[in-house]
Amino acid sequence: MRKLLLGIFIAITANYSASAQIGKTDDVRKSLETTNTDTTAWVYGGTINIGANEGFLHNWAAGGELASLTVNGLFSGHLDRLMKGAVWTNNLDLSYGLNYMFSNDFTPRKTDDRIDFTSKYGKRLNKGNLYLTGLFNFKSQFTKGFDYSKKNFDSASTSAFLSPGYFTLAIGAEYKKGTNLSLFFSPIAGRLIVAESYYTSMSPTGAFGIDSGKTTQFQFGAYFSGRYTVNINERTTFKTRLDLYSNYLAKDKKDETGKVIKKDDPGNI
């Protein structure tokens, strides 16, 4: 049996970083990763990644998709303003990916879709690593989402840009060591969730945390956000992030007869 396995991988990666300051640029750049400096400076950097992966199988004994193509793009950037005893940080993460397969007539299916922007302003409480910080975060997506488990999935979308959209505003304490580590906790965090009624009306329990048929939902609770970044070498960077939110106002959802149709409580994260 003839076997043919063809794979093509194309990846374009661009990395850039720069800092502008009053004083010695090189000295500040080296110390920013692990220390909190009082030097006044603008610092920015980021990563752009565009990739495509194509596969073709013919008479392959193990079986597999005859032909497939995956295309994805990623941007992760930051812009920071360092000031004496304070710091203003801005992070923007964008990603989008599509997959095309022979078995579904190369109808595109999303593999990734994310818009995530965070802006924080922190005032140092002492000479150490603790800050009093205000935070704003926005999350959404670029295009419509679908439930691919359904046969005619493209007949109705399940999400779209700003459906949902999450807006979070919080004040709290932040433990920060340069640009490498940030641990933020707020016991007083407000969150506004928005979505079109078209999507929230699909279920009697609503969607995205919004009641059925409604377009907005306000939440008030506790919020934690942790980020860790380390440059392993000149070409490799490791990043990880964890966000947790608990809504103090959470309560069970009931139908018109008073029957509980969805349980919820402030302890849920």
In this structure, is residue 84 part of a structural domain? Answer: yes
Looking only at Cα atoms, what is the longest distance across the chain?
73
What three-state secondary structure class fits 104?
helix
Q: Are 207 and 192 in contact (CB under 8 A)?
A: no
Q: What is the pLDDT of residues 1-59, one digit of tens each?
A: 333 333 433 343 444 444 333 333 444 445 556 566 667 889 888 889 999 988 877 66
Which pLDDT score is estimated for 5? 38
Q: What is the pLDDT of residue 8?
A: 38
How far separated are the first and last CA of the chain, in Å rounded? 54
For residues 60-78, average pLDDT = 84
Q: How confident is the model at residue 84 (pLDDT cuts 50, 70, 90)?
A: confident
Identify the H or E element spanning 152: none
Cα 107 to Cα 10, 55, 63, 86, 112: the distances in Å are 21, 16, 21, 50, 15
Q: Note the pLDDT of residue 179.
A: 79
Strand partners, 170: 135, 189
Cα–Cα distance for residue pair 254/171, rounded to 1 Å: 32
Of the listed ranges 31-45, 68-82, 186-200, the least confidently predicted one is 31-45
- Cα–Cα distance, 111 to 74 (Å, whole number): 12
| DSSP string computed for 10-64 | EEEEEEEEEEEESS-HHHHHHHTTTS-----EEEEEEEEEEEEEEEEEES-TT--
Task: Kindly state whether residue 115 falls inside one of the protein's structural domains.
Answer: yes
Higher-confidence position of 38 and 253: 253
DSSP helix/strand/coil, 146: coil
Average pLDDT, integer, range 159-187: 96
| Mean pLDDT (whole number) for 254-262 | 79
* Lowest model confidence (mean pLDDT) among 40-44, 67-71, 230-234, 262-266: 262-266
Look up the domain containing 27 and give its range.
4-262
Mean pLDDT to the nearest integer, 200-221: 94
Mean pLDDT over 134-160 rounds to 95
110-126 per-position pLDDT tens digit: 999 999 999 999 999 98
Looking at residue 2, its pLDDT comes to: 36
Quickly list DSSP for 61-101: TT---SEEEEEEEEEEEEEEEEETTEEEEEEEEEEEEEEEE
What is the DSSP code (8-state) at residue 234? Answer: T
Phi first, then psi, for residue 31 (nearest 5°) are -90, -15
pLDDT of 136 higher than 50: yes
More confident residue, 104 or 269: 104
Average pLDDT, the chain: 85
Residue 267 lies in a domain: no
Q: Is 269 part of a structural domain of the chain?
A: no
Cβ 206 vs Cβ 253: under 8 Å: yes
Domains held by the chain: number: 1
Q: Cα separation of 12 and 50, whole Å? A: 5
Global pTM value: 0.84
Would you place residue 254 in the very low, low, confident or very high pLDDT band (cuts 50, 70, 90)? confident
Gyration radius (Cα) of the chain, Å: 23
Q: Which residue carries 């000479």 as its tokens?
A: 127
Which 3 state secondary structure label does DSSP give 1?
Answer: coil
Instruction: Please tell me the distance from the alpha carbon of residue 227 to that of residue 137, in angstroms, as a whole number.
Output: 14
